[in-house]
Chains A and B, each alone.
Chain A
Amino acid sequence: MTREVDPITLQVIGGALHAIAEQMGNVLYRMSYSSIIRESQDLGAGLFDRDFNTLCESDSTPMHIGSLPGYLRGIARTIPIDGWQPGDCVIHNHPYAGASHSPDIAIVMPVFFEGELIGFSANTAHHVDIGAATPGLIIDVPDMYAEGMLMDGLKLYEAGKRNEALWKFIFDNTRVPSLVKGDLEAQIASAELGVRRFQELLAAYGKDRVIQATRQLMDYTEGMLRREIAKIPDGDYTAEGFLDDDGRNRGKHLPIKVTVKVRGDGVEVDLTGSSDQVPTAFNVPFEGSTNVACFFAFRALLLDTYTHEEHIPQNEGSFRPVKVTAPLGSIYNPIAPVAAEARFCQIQRVVDLIIKALAPVIPEKATAGNAATLSFAAFSGVRPSGDYWVFLEVNEAAMGGRPTSDGPDTVEELMRNTRNNPLEDLGMHLPLICDRYEVRDDVAPGAGKFRGGAGVVKAQRYLTPGFMTHESDRHDDAPWGVFGGKDGAVGKLEIYNVAPAGRDRQRAREVFGPADGTRRRGRLFLALGRRLWRPARARPGEGAGRCARRLHHRAARARRLWRGVRCGGRRLWLAGERRGDGSSSRRAARPLRHAGSALGACARRCI
């Protein structure tokens, strides 16, 4: 047993670890090429000990924070702890060996000090394309082999020697080799920096002292979270919701059930009662994603960085008090070889349902229903040169009303926190032009003492033939209001195919402008999402819920009408990701009034 590190040195080492993780994250996103990493910062980076405990992690995207230990445990099945050498660099993305999902590729380097393996420097980043069945994103695929390259603990470098064959294999199997190359190089530079800085820290303070300090820091963070959990009355708190469908069996809702079991200063999230695993890619890797969502929920609820003054170190301690249970074979813990790539909407809902379940006992920390989904669009095409272009777009949504404030509008909520891409930058580099990007105004945010946030409308237009894949959800289940607040609205997706001639362009302009938020005319050729919306006008003052129902009937009619129609692959207008959101709420004789929020839009492939 090593001597306790004094509190002053502890602060010093804790500060240094935090700074290292931040620098690793910085190097990664600034050096990278693909917009999903450099603009959206869909990445995570940190240092880990020999037992795969997180010692520190960059404050980038919540989805990545807490996923790396799973990768390390997965790699350990291929590379035993004594199989590491200085100068190794491992690449890993296997969804059934700890990865968050296959596009989130991890780069891991061992940290040796005085000849001994002390731990790891590692990061994850979302890659634009890993050679899956369709460019960028996938939904309706048969199994995990359609996800693209699966790399299970492979050494890109072995003792400093580059494995050229593996690099070549990777570049030969992605649609965008130059982006993947630049991004992997950025990941390696970030991991190298982590190795170097960790070694410097060990040299400055001594190995034993640093390791002891990391233990104390983990205990500290754990203690802070447990202290907050203990304030919640013991009990089982349940909330339920449903997802639209799995992307193949349209209209077949998938139930989700979350039970939060609070026992003293620990908590268990039990997902029993949620849907069985589905035959498409709409499943969630348990270790790398289901777990991470639950870790996030408690950290954000109970150690809110806006309301807490102190910086609490981001490390393993924040995961320990939270246990996650999901039956094997369920959507949150699937069995190979079913695909599990499109998992984000589901985990957003887990977080939202945890908040809903606990709202009655911690009303001052909760929110009304959030959009709690994702509108993830992959735009792509082939340039005249024969090279692919692929662009991943994360569309924001909004949050539910809160105890003392309205829900923020048009913002990244819960597990995601990316940045949008400047429209001007896209316009200069891609055959895609944005025609509208505004606050959604066809439905009102959920009303209440504190309203929900307003969603967003985005219209992208292809200038040359292209493909689109879209991952989304929440066209049926509106975000809830709490404590009497009104529900929010669901989202929608509209796809227009516009013939190339000038007359049609003019027509299209009539359809799209003026930007008053309504679309009354226009031909809908096809929506290869799950819904075909005839644009509906939300009447001023109409409740969001009612509007949604009306839309639903129209959608069903349209679906019958257009089933089986294929798009000609000419000019395609994706008109409007319109996501509603916000709802609000109100309840008399209760000190707190929240609002709910919502949104939606579904997704899939279309050509």
Chain B
Amino acid sequence: MIRVGVDVGGTFTDIVLERTRAAGEDQQIVVHKVPSTPQDQSEGVVKGVVEICQMAGIAPGEIDMVFHGTTVATNMVIERKGAEVGMITTRGFRDILHMARHKRPHNFSLQFDVPWQSKPLVKRRNRLPVTERIMPPDGRVEVPLDTDEVKAAAELFAKRGLDAVIVAFLFAFLNDEHEQKAKAIVAAAMPDAYVCCSSEIVNVIREYERFSTCAMNAYIGPMTARYMRQLEGRLRQAGVRAVVRIMQSNGGISTVENAIERPVGLLLSGPAGGVIGGRWTGEHAGTQNVITIDIGGTSADISVIQGGELRIKNPRDTEVANLPVLVPMIDIDAIGAGGGSIAYLDPGGAFRVGPRSAGADPGPACYGKGGEEPTVTDAQVVLGRLDPEQFLGGDLAIDPSLSERAIATHIAGPMGLSVTQAALGILRIINNNMALAINNNSVAKGIDPRNFSLMGFGGAGPLHGTALAELISARDVISPLQPGITAAMGLLVTDLQYEYTHSVLLVLNKAGEAEFAALNAAMDELRAQAEAQLEADGIAPGARRFRKVAECRYLGQGFELRAEMPEGPLNKENVEEVIRSFFDAHQQVYGHAFEDQLTEAVTLRLIATAEVDMLRLPDLAKGGRTDPEDAVLYVRDTVFDDGEARPTPRYRRDRLLAGDRVTGPALIVQHNSTTLLPPGYAAEVLGHGDMRVARQG
């Protein structure tokens, strides 16, 4: 079996190839990086796959499966380069997408932009109301759908040459009859268009969020489909006949067909791989509680894995580019802090680092590509934490004197500090910003970091790991085997996963036989959809796993939390379990639970998964040494957070063996990353080459 994971980032496309040989022979793992090709990501993907085959000594045709994490859909939204979409909606409610939730994005501003108005997913001229009315609370039809109006709208859209059409009616979550009927009419009138309706993309209450999610799906639909087809075509041309699977925002993988039908599920396809890779590395390191931080050039992605489970964002908080997207997403917070973050003094004299970034071009001052302002990377260089000859394994030439000059001119001089002090200040501020963001994603959500390991990855992650762990009081730090390529590895350790939802709005404490029967029937329907999908994917019935969730709130609240449902049908006896599970979630998230209040279920969710093969790393040879001298490259001064420069040995990571111990101060270097070990810390090399770093004694 040969499997390939491909993760496309802003600068590089990372590829991992795993080959499990027959007859119990050694397996083979190859990693590779090629420059990304933003105009058509599939170009870089295919180039990388072909090259890694050469490196591994196999023919492209031998690959069995390709797993792909892509930012194609996300970029389309951020750059607003999606399809021209038409919308058919309920008469009287033409502008729901334009008005949104009427809250402006800035409190203290008069000149602010309103992205959903200035850059709409569907222009007003393409939003056409038709006569129809479905009434709450039972979904009865008060005014039948005027099919002639739908037909006329579809013909107009066809004449305008639109690529995609959505059908979004008020209260469709109670009754999708009108939406389905209208969709069929549009599909008949516009056979080549991408058509979807709100209740099938996300069948939940709240019109703006549902309509917007549906609009987003159509906006990215046609071009995502084109990309997927192109990728498949290019791979075939290159001789790759493998099955292709796509990473989704919820941390599961899905088929190409599903990705084309519901591209809205791909908006976090990029960063999700890193989090999954973090979970997997955590398991190797013997911990199920991991806080991951993926530090890149301009931003850092933070996520929390608790008890081996990914944290899924509250469905009320899932948005992309200021637009709500009600699909399950891993709870990933991105903050504007990375190696390229610029340090400067603002007009009031405050010392700032980020979110402005030097990016890859011009990049940090030390790149010598015209960047004048000091960045976080420049601070690392000045403090001797990044050696010029180790920078990307020496592939990129950098000039430390430029870093020094930038810090001296812009920070140290004006503030009357030494360059070293200023550089330490830059790191302290950026680390603090990251730590606050981690707290927001952990402490603020009832998670105690003292029981968690911090895992920093991305090229710069292991440089910040110990400082961040200190700030948030994490238990220890994990430096993964390949920090720069963790996301691609994550692709090879992901389950197949689908989610289905249905709105219910039922007060659980008061529900009677009939209500339970309706709820169970709805759940059965979701289950049938899931079974059909897994069947289509060729998953054996025994390998299918289902998890049932009721998203609940106290009657009258506006935000739901996830409660676990019992295995069998819900009834008067076991409904207490759901309520109890909701109380626990409320207690954890808010620190309070109102036991005397009624619990209302709002949305049923079925999560269907199937395990696929997992990447297995080979065991490292046993070393068991302490500070092994043959791994030392050289010794050089490095400044640590106390401001003191100490002679600090550089170890080659590829020469460390399982069970080896390295005591700080030390730097452990590898091709695309450096792990910093301050005095008082020690790193232990684990069985597969990951390292656990902890305070000694």
- The answer to whether residues A439 and B351 also contact, given A189-B591, A304-B111, A424-B207 and a CB cut-off of 8 A, is no
Binds A, one of B91-99, B231-239, B305-313, B511-519: B91-99
Residues of B contacting A299 with CB < 8 Å?
108
Residues of A contacting B98 with CB < 8 Å?
409-410, 439
Residues of B contacting A396 with CB < 8 Å?
99, 102
- Chain A 539-579, CB-CB to B under 8 Å as 1, else 0, gives 00000000000000000000000000000000000000000
Interface status of B173 (Cβ within 8 A of chain A): yes
For B95, B124, B433, the residue with the greatest tally of chain A CB atoms inside 10 Å of its CB is: B95
A365 to B111, CA, bound (A): 8
Residues of A contacting B356 with CB < 8 Å?
309
Interface status of B160 (Cβ within 8 A of chain A): no
Interface status of A32 (Cβ within 8 A of chain B): yes
Residues of B contacting A405 with CB < 8 Å?
111, 113, 118
Residues of B contacting A435 with CB < 8 Å?
92
- Chain A 214-254, CB-CB to B under 8 Å as 1, else 0, gives 00000010011001000000000000000000000000000
Interface status of B206 (Cβ within 8 A of chain A): yes
| Docked-complex contact B110 and A422, CB < 8 angstroms | no
| Docked-complex contact B107 and A59, CB < 8 angstroms | yes
Interface status of B439 (Cβ within 8 A of chain A): yes
| Docked-complex contact B102 and A410, CB < 8 angstroms | yes
| Docked-complex contact A65 and B107, CB < 8 angstroms | yes
| Docked-complex contact A438 and B95, CB < 8 angstroms | yes
Contact of A300 among B110, B352, B429, B597 (CB under 8 A): B110
Residues of B contacting A512 with CB < 8 Å?
92
A32 to B561, CA, bound (A): 14
Residues of B contacting A300 with CB < 8 Å?
107-110
Chain B interfacial residues counted at CB < 8 A: 68
Q: Which residue of B lies closest to A439 (CB)?
A: B95
| Docked-complex contact B592 and A12, CB < 8 angstroms | no
- The answer to whether residues A417 and B111 also contact, given A7-B351, A178-B556 and a CB cut-off of 8 A, is no
A307 to B554, CA, bound (A): 40
Residues of A contacting B591 with CB < 8 Å?
27, 189, 192-193
- Chain A 17-33, CB-CB to B under 8 Å as 1, else 0, gives 00100110011001111
- The answer to whether residues A423 and B108 also contact, given A11-B351, A224-B348, A433-B135 and a CB cut-off of 8 A, is no
| Docked-complex contact A30 and B436, CB < 8 angstroms | no
Q: Which residue of B lies closest to A38 (CB)?
A: B558
- The answer to whether residues A402 and B429 also contact, given A33-B557, A419-B101 and a CB cut-off of 8 A, is no
| Docked-complex contact A38 and B208, CB < 8 angstroms | no
A19 to B101, CA, bound (A): 24
Interface status of A367 (Cβ within 8 A of chain B): yes
| Docked-complex contact A19 and B436, CB < 8 angstroms | yes
A437 to B89, CA, bound (A): 12
A192 to B591, CA, bound (A): 10
A433 to B347, CA, bound (A): 52
Residues of B contacting A11 with CB < 8 Å?
350-352, 429, 432
| Docked-complex contact A419 and B102, CB < 8 angstroms | yes
For A7, A220, A224, the residue with the greatest tally of chain B CB atoms inside 10 Å of its CB is: A7
Contact of B111 among A403, A411, A423 (CB under 8 A): A403
Residues of A contacting B589 with CB < 8 Å?
30
A73 to B366, CA, bound (A): 54
Interface status of A513 (Cβ within 8 A of chain B): yes
A296 to B107, CA, bound (A): 9
Interface status of B159 (Cβ within 8 A of chain A): no
Interface status of B136 (Cβ within 8 A of chain A): yes
Residues of A contacting B433 with CB < 8 Å?
15
Residues of B contacting A224 with CB < 8 Å?
347-348
Chain B nearest CB from A529 CB (Å) reads 22
Q: Which residue of A lies closest to B172 (CB)?
A: A424
For A15, A192, A427, the residue with the greatest tally of chain B CB atoms inside 10 Å of its CB is: A427
| Docked-complex contact B425 and A31, CB < 8 angstroms | no
| Docked-complex contact B170 and A424, CB < 8 angstroms | yes
Residues of B contacting A290 with CB < 8 Å?
none
Residues of A contacting B207 with CB < 8 Å?
422-424
A304 to B111, CA, bound (A): 7
| Docked-complex contact A412 and B348, CB < 8 angstroms | no
- Chain B 333-353, CB-CB to A under 8 Å as 1, else 0, gives 000000000000011111110
Residues of A contacting B125 with CB < 8 Å?
none
Interface status of B568 (Cβ within 8 A of chain A): no
| Docked-complex contact B102 and A437, CB < 8 angstroms | no
* B561-596 at interface with A (beta carbon < 8 Å): 589-592, 594
Interface status of B634 (Cβ within 8 A of chain A): no
Interface status of A366 (Cβ within 8 A of chain B): yes
- The answer to whether residues A365 and B101 also contact, given A11-B432, A16-B436, A182-B556 and a CB cut-off of 8 A, is no
| Docked-complex contact A33 and B554, CB < 8 angstroms | yes
Chain A nearest CB from B431 CB (Å) reads 9
- The answer to whether residues A424 and B425 also contact, given A32-B557, A411-B114, A417-B104 and a CB cut-off of 8 A, is no
Interface status of B520 (Cβ within 8 A of chain A): no
Interface status of B117 (Cβ within 8 A of chain A): yes
Interface status of B617 (Cβ within 8 A of chain A): no
Residues of A contacting B171 with CB < 8 Å?
424, 427
Residues of B contacting A338 with CB < 8 Å?
none
Interface status of B137 (Cβ within 8 A of chain A): yes
The 5 closest A-B pairs by CB, nearest first: A38-B558, A427-B136, A436-B92, A396-B102, A422-B206
User: Footprint of A on B, CB under 8 Å?
Assistant: 91-96, 98-99, 101-104, 106-114, 117-118, 124, 129, 131, 135-137, 143, 170-171, 173, 205-209, 346-352, 356, 415, 425, 428-429, 432-433, 436, 439-440, 444, 505, 554, 556-559, 589-592, 594, 597
Known: A437-B95, A438-B95. 16 other contacts (CB 8 A): A11-B429, A12-B428, A12-B432, A19-B440, A31-B557, A38-B559, A192-B591, A220-B348, A301-B110, A306-B109, A411-B117, A419-B103, A427-B135, A456-B99, A459-B92, A514-B91
A to B CB contacts below 8 Å, 30 in the list? A11-B432, A12-B429, A15-B436, A16-B436, A19-B440, A23-B444, A27-B591, A31-B557, A31-B590, A31-B592, A65-B107, A182-B594, A193-B591, A224-B347, A305-B108, A307-B109, A310-B348, A404-B111, A408-B112, A410-B99, A412-B104, A420-B101, A423-B170, A424-B136, A424-B171, A424-B207, A428-B137, A437-B93, A513-B131, A514-B131
User: Footprint of B on A, CB under 8 Å?
Assistant: 7-8, 10-12, 15-16, 19, 22-23, 26-27, 30-35, 38-39, 41, 59-62, 65, 178-179, 182, 185, 189, 192-193, 220, 223-224, 227, 296, 299-301, 303-307, 309-310, 355, 365-367, 396, 399, 402-405, 408-413, 417-420, 422-425, 427-428, 433, 435-439, 456, 459, 509, 512-515
